[in-house]
Amino acid sequence: MTISIQVENVTKEFTMQYHRTLKQMAVASLKRLPLQEKFLAVNDVSFNVEQGSSIGLMGLNGSGKSTLLKLINGVMRPDTGIIRTRGRIAGLIATGAGFHPQLTGRENLFLNGAILGMSEAETKRKFDEIVEFADIGKFLDTPVSHYSSGMYARLGFSIAVHVDADVFLADEVLAVGDRPFKKKCMAKMQEIRQQGTTIFYVSHATASVRAMCDRVLVLESGRLNFDGDVDEGIRYLQYDDADDDEENEMDSELGADV
Ligand SMILES: Nc1ncnc2c1ncn2[C@@H]1O[C@H](COP(=O)(O)OP(=O)(O)O)[C@@H](O)[C@H]1O
Ligand SMILES: [Mg+2]
């Protein structure tokens, strides 16, 4: 058993500023109102992930999921605690992260590939495959600032998923894509999962978590309050009780296909 990700007592503190301008700050301080508040976005979180396992990271908006992913990815450092990761990490931690708005899709493909650790030769070799998967067609040579959020996500996902990585992080990547693209992404993630890549999948879609993951972590206000079986984790979240029928329906359809 090889450990792929080790997270030990990790904490990340953020400062919330209540006021944006100097004038607002001056007024607030005269009234003795608080100017800022510190809070723990990730609060004393510990867990280990085995190489090749697939983890669903769940929790409400603002519970610290993206922050935890950024800490694992290495774009942020924890304030306390230790994070160890083995091998190359790729993935999409924010839609279009690392994209330059004035560059075209093609240029961003090379730039993003480089950021994710691919050599120019590797990107060239995979170029056609990436473009075909992203399916952005004639928009390849258009600046990405003209892309829709869905197109942004397609290109970003396609690049990330074609990196030969040991760990793949996916932060709500499928939330903006259309249904055919979601299906394609799920199939692709299953493929890299089968190849033994460790997957960290953030999603609110219970059916896709059931299909994708063999373990669920639930964050609540920065605390890891559940770590275990997928169905139990979803029950813990009580997402199945949601009366959001359309979402659930679509969700089960998606899950049935993958
Ligand atoms: N760079 C930052 N500075 C200050 N607060 C932040 C920053 N990034 C995230 N936060 C806050 O930290 C909390 C957790 O955010 P996030 O990890 O994005 O949650 P999630 O991905 O679970 O929705 C939220 O309250 C968010 O507003
Ligand atoms: Mg998030």
Residue whose CA lies nearest to ligand 1 atom number 17: 64
Residues 152-171 pLDDT 10s: 888 988 999 999 999 999 99
Q: Is 103 exposed, middle or buried (0-12, 13-18, 19+ CB in 10 A)?
A: middle
CA pair distance 88, 57, nearest whole angstrom? 20
Integer-rounded Cα Rg, in Å, for the chain is: 20
Spatial contact of 5 and 48, defined as CB atoms under 8 Å apart: yes
- Residue 203, ligand 1, Cβ within 6 A: no
Reply yes or no on whether the pLDDT at 251 is more than 90: no
22 contact partners, CB below 8 Å, separation of at least 6: none
- In this prediction the pTM is 0.86
| Mode of pairing for the β-strands spanning 167-171 and 89-92 | parallel
Residue of minimum CA distance from atom 8 in ligand 1: 67
In the numeric block, which tokens belong to residue 166? 């040991």
Judge contact between 204 and 65, C-beta under 8 A.
no
Q: What is the pLDDT of residue 176?
A: 75
Q: Which residues surround ligand 2, an ion (CB under 5 A)?
A: 65-66
| CA 40 to ligand 1 center in whole angstroms | 9
Give the whole-angstrom CA distance, residue 93 versus residue 55: 15
42 close to ligand 1 (CB < 6 Angstrom): no
